[in-house]
Amino acid sequence: MPLPYSKKVIQHFNKPHNYGKMKNPDGIGEVGNMICGDLMKLYIKVNQNKKGQDIIKDIKFETFGCLAAIASSSMLTDLVKGKTLEEAVSFDRKEIVQELGGLPPIKIHCSVLAGDALIEAIHDYLTKNKKPIPEALNKRHQQLATEKEEIKKDHQVC
Amino acid sequence: MRRIYLDNSATTKIDKKVLEAMEPYLKEEFGNASSLHWFGQEAHNALSKARGRVADFLGCNFLEVYFTGSATVSDNLAILGIIKATQKRGITKPHVITSTIEHPAVLEPIKYLEKTGEVEATYLAVDKEGVVKIEDVERAIKENTVLVSIMYANNEIGTIQPIAQIGDWLKARNQKSEKKILFHTDAVQAANYLDCNVDKLGVDLLTLSGHKIYGPKGIGILYKRKGVEIEPVVFGGHQERGVAPGTENVAGIAGFGEAIEEIKNQELRIKNGEKIKKLRDKLIDGILKNISGTDLNGSREKRLPNNVNTSFKGVEGESILMALDQKGVAVSTGSACASGSLDPSHVLMALGVGVERAHSSIRFTLGKYNTESEINYVLKILPGIIERLRKISPLK
C-alpha cells in the first residue's frame, strides 16, 4: 500500500544526499535487521574544530529499506554533518520528521532507526578511541543490543 | 506521464460492456429486487439473468449461486457457515484443513475459530514451487475433518493448486465413508484463466470476486452445492435464500453477470490468456536476464498466465514500488514495509525463500488491457531503478 509522502521525502528518496560506503571511517553504526526489512549503516569521519571539539567532518549512509527509511537516512546526514559530537549525541530525531515535512505514522520508526544509527556510529567512534561515553548514549546502545537479541529470539521459527 | 497498470491481481479496470450493463440499475431501474411491484420485478429479473450466467460459467444449478458483498464475505461465509452447520449436527470440535498460502479471507476466519476453540486446524505447507501436495491433504485427514479449503491459484505468486486432483481424491474417499468432507476453493485469481466447472473440480463451495474479472467492486459469489448445509453469518433478511441476507446490489450483480459472460467466451479466453502469457514470459525473461541478482518466486510452469513475482537482491520492495510509481508503473510488493506489519508476506515465507527475498519482492500482475509496449517500457526503466537503489543499499 503506497503511502502519502511529502514532496521533501520523495526528493530525498529520488536524490539522496551522502550515500555510499565511506573509506576508512572513524565510526560505523549498524542498525535494523533483515527480519523487519530495514537495514541501515552509517559511517562518520571525525575531526577537531578550532576549539578542539570533535566534529562530524563527513557522514555517509547505506540503507536497505523503504522510501521513508532512505529519505530519513539522507535527511539525518544533512542535519548532523558539521555538528560537534556533543551536539550530535543530543540530536533530537524528531527533527528528521519535521524537516521531511512529516512521515506517515507507521513510518516514524524509520526516523528512529536513523537516529539510532547515529548513536551507534558515535558509540563506535568513542569506544575505538577510548574516549568517555556519555551515559545516555551508552544506555541507548545497550537497549539496542538487547532489542537485537529479542528480535532474533522471537523469529527463530522463520 | 505514461500510466501503466500492472496490479491486476489487486483489482482490474472495469470492462465497458460491464459498465453499460450496470447503468440502468443505477438510474431508472433502481427497484429493490424484493419488492412485488413492477420496479422490484425489473430488478429481480436482473438478478435472475446474472445468476443464470454465473451458473452457466460454473456448470451448476441456478439456485446453487449466492451473491455476497465481496469474495472476503464469501470465504468467511463458506468457512464460518459450514462450521456452524457442522456444530448444529452435534460435532463439537470439527477439523479444518487449509494451506499456509491462503488469502487472509480464508486464513483469518479459521484462525478465529481456532482461537475460540471451535475448530482444530491444519495448515498445509507448500513445496518450494509454492504448490500444495495432494499426499499432504490425504495425510492430514482426521476422524473429525469436515472441511478442506485450498485456493485455486495464489494471489501473490500465481501458483496453481491441484484442485481437480484433490477434488477427485476427496470424492473417492467420501464414497467410502459416512462422514463427508466438504471441499471449498477460493477461485478469485483463477477465474480469468482456468476452468471453473465445479463438477470437474469436485468442489462443494467456490468463491469468485467481481472486480478481479473486469467487473465492479463490492460483489462476490459463493457457489454452494445443493444439499450442503450452511448457516448464515449475518442476519436480517431472506435474501439469497436466507444464506446471505441484505438488499441485493442489483447493479453490481448485473455487472458481475456481464463480466462472467465476457470471461466465459472460450475463444476470447484463450486469446487473452495466450496474449497475456506471452507478455508475462517476456517480462520474466527480461528481468532474470537483464538484471543480476533476481529470482522468480513460485513455480514457472504451474503459474497463472498473468503473474510475475520476482525478488531483487539487496533492494527493499517498497522502495522499488515507489520508484516505479513515480515513473507511472503500478505494482505491488510482499515487503513488510508496505503492509504496515513487521512481517513480510506469509506466502513468500511459506516458500522458504527467506526474509531478505521476501522483503525484496515485487509482484507484477498483467491483464487484458496491457500491451507489449508497456512491458518494453518497464523492462527499459527497471534496471536503472534497481541499480540506483543498490548503490544506496548496504547489502552487496
Check pLDDT > 90 for residue A33: no
The mean of the pLDDT values for chain A is: 92
Is B125 part of the contact surface with chain A (CB cutoff 8 Å)? no
Task: Give the global pTM.
Answer: 0.94
Overall average pLDDT of the A94-103 stretch: 95
Is B10 part of the contact surface with chain A (CB cutoff 8 Å)? no
> In residues, how long is chain A?
158
Is A22 part of the contact surface with chain B (CB cutoff 8 Å)? no
Backbone angles phi, psi at B222, to 5 degrees: -120, 120
> In residues, how long is chain B?
396
Is A40 part of the contact surface with chain B (CB cutoff 8 Å)? yes
B247-278 residues labelled b (16+ CB within 10 A) or e (exposed): ebbbbbbbbbbbbbbbbeeeeebeebbebbbe
Exposed / middle / buried, residue B92 (Cβ in 10 Å: 0-12, 13-18, 19+): exposed
Q: Which residue of B has its CA nearest to A19?
A: B392
List chain B residues with CB under 8 Å of A5.
Answer: 322
The mean of the pLDDT values for chain B is: 96
Banded pLDDT at A157 (limits 50, 70, 90)? very low
Q: Could you tell me whether strands B95-99 and B145-149 are parallel, antiparallel, or unpaired per DSSP bridges?
A: parallel
Is B344 part of the contact surface with chain A (CB cutoff 8 Å)? yes
Model confidence pLDDT, tens digit, residues B310-359: 999 999 999 999 999 999 999 999 886 655 566 789 999 999 999 999 99
Q: Which of B314, B344, B391 sits opposite A20 (nearest CB)?
A: B391
List chain A residues with CB under 8 Å of B344.
Answer: 37
Do residue A2 and residue B336 have CB atoms under 8 angstroms apart?
A: no
- Which pLDDT value is given to residue B25? 97
Restricting to A residues 71-130, those with a Cβ less than 8 Å away from any Cβ of B are: 106
Class for domain B16-264, per CATH?
A: alpha beta
- Testing the interface with B: which of A15, A70, A75, A109 to mutate, by most B Cβ within 10 A? A70
Cα–Cα distance measured from residue B173 to residue B182, given in angstroms and rounded to the nearest whole number: 11
Check pLDDT > 90 for residue A4: no
- Which pLDDT value is given to residue A1? 43
From A3, A34, A36, A145, active-site residue? A36
List chain A residues with CB under 8 Å of B335.
Answer: 37, 66
Q: For chain A, what is the radius of gyration of the CA atoms?
A: 15
Check pLDDT > 50 for residue A158: no
Residue-range domain boundaries for chain A: 7-154
Joined grid coordinates for residue B102: 491462503
Do residue A1 and residue B340 have CB atoms under 8 angstroms apart?
A: yes
List chain B residues with CB under 8 Å of A68.
Answer: 337
How many CA atoms within 13 Å lie on the side-chain side of A11?
Answer: 7
From B337, B349, B381, B389, active-site residue? B337
Is A145 part of the contact surface with chain B (CB cutoff 8 Å)? no
- Which pLDDT value is given to residue A69? 95
- Which pLDDT value is given to residue B342? 65
Query: What's the farthest any 2 CA atoms get from each other in chain A?
Result: 54
- Which pLDDT value is given to residue A36? 81
Complex confidence, ipTM: 0.92
Backbone angles phi, psi at A23, to 5 degrees: -80, 135
Amino acid present at B281:
D
- Which pLDDT value is given to residue A151? 78
Cα–Cα distance measured from residue B307 to residue B364, given in angstroms and rounded to the nearest whole number: 6
Do residue B359 and residue A69 have CB atoms under 8 angstroms apart?
A: no
Cα–Cα distance measured from residue B316 to residue B332, given in angstroms and rounded to the nearest whole number: 12
Joined grid coordinates for residue B248: 441485493
Return the residue matching grid coordinates 464460518: B80
Mean pLDDT (10-residue bins), chain B, 396 residues: 95 98 97 96 97 98 98 98 96 96 97 97 97 97 97 98 98 94 98 97 98 98 98 95 96 98 90 96 98 98 98 96 96 76 86 93 97 98 98 93
Query: CB count, 10 Å around CB of B197?
Result: 14
* DSSP-derived secondary structure for B350-393: HHT--HHHHHTEEEEE--TT--HHHHHHHHHHHHHHHHHHHHH-
* Residue limits of CATH 3.40.640.10 in chain B: 16-264
B152–chain A nearest CA distance, Å:
25
List chain B residues with CB under 8 Å of A40.
Answer: 394
- Which pLDDT value is given to residue A3? 60
C-alpha distances (whole Å) from A128 to each of A124, A146, B340 are 6, 21, 38
3-state secondary structure of B311: strand
Q: Which residue of A has its CA nearest to B7?
A: A1
Do residue B337 and residue A158 have CB atoms under 8 angstroms apart?
A: no
- Which pLDDT value is given to residue A51? 94
Q: Identify the CA nearest to B311 among candidates B329, B324, B298.
A: B298
Is B379 part of the contact surface with chain A (CB cutoff 8 Å)? no
Q: Identify the CA nearest to B210 among candidates B255, B170, B251.
A: B255
Taking the CA atoms of B315, B321, B325 and B327 in sequence, report the sign of the dihedral they define. positive
- Testing the interface with A: which of B342, B360, B381 to mutate, by most A Cβ within 10 A? B342
Do residue B319 and residue A38 have CB atoms under 8 angstroms apart?
A: no
3-state helix, strand, coil in chain B (%, to 5): 45, 15, 40
Is B72 part of the contact surface with chain A (CB cutoff 8 Å)? no
* Second CATH level (architecture) for the domain A7-154: Alpha-Beta Complex (3.90)
Joined grid coordinates for residue B75: 470465504
Cα–Cα distance measured from residue B11 to residue B209, given in angstroms and rounded to the nearest whole number: 10
Is B321 part of the contact surface with chain A (CB cutoff 8 Å)? yes
Close Cβ partners of A98 (under 8 Å, ≥ 6 residues apart): none
Q: Which residue of A has its CA nearest to B313?
A: A64
Cα–Cα distance measured from residue B244 to residue A150, given in angstroms and rounded to the nearest whole number: 46
* Residue limits of CATH 3.90.1150.10 in chain B: 266-392
> Which region holds residue B227: left if phi is over 0, alpha if psi is between -120 and 50, else beta?
left
Model confidence pLDDT, tens digit, residues A38-92: 999 999 999 999 999 999 999 999 999 999 999 999 999 999 999 999 999 999 9
3-state helix, strand, coil in chain A (%, to 5): 50, 20, 30
Cα–Cα distance measured from residue B268 to residue B82, given in angstroms and rounded to the nearest whole number: 36
- Which pLDDT value is given to residue B214? 98
Q: Superfamily assignment of B266-392 in CATH? A: Aspartate Aminotransferase, domain 1 (3.90.1150.10)
Detail the DSSP E strand segments found in chain B: 4-5, 65-68, 95-99, 120-124, 145-149, 182-186, 205-209, 220-224, 294-296, 307-312, 329-330, 332-333, 361-365
In B294-333, alpha helices (H)? 317-326
Say if residues B271 and B127 touch (Cβ distance below 8 Å).
no
Model confidence pLDDT, tens digit, residues B267-306: 888 999 999 999 999 999 999 999 999 999 999 999 999 9
Cα–Cα distance measured from residue B344 to residue B82, given in angstroms and rounded to the nearest whole number: 31
Is A44 part of the contact surface with chain B (CB cutoff 8 Å)? no
List chain A residues with CB under 8 Å of B353.
Answer: none
List chain A residues with CB under 8 Å of B325.
Answer: 2
User: How far from the centroid of its chain's Cα atoms is residue B200's Cα?
Assistant: 19
Strand partners, A45: A58
Residue B196: active-site member? no
Q: Which of A36, A62, A106 sits opposite B394 (nearest CB)?
A: A62
Close Cβ partners of A61 (under 8 Å, ≥ 6 residues apart): A16, A18, A19, A40, A41, A42, A43, A73, A74, A76, A77, A114, A117, B392
Cα–Cα distance measured from residue B67 to residue B305, given in angstroms and rounded to the nearest whole number: 27
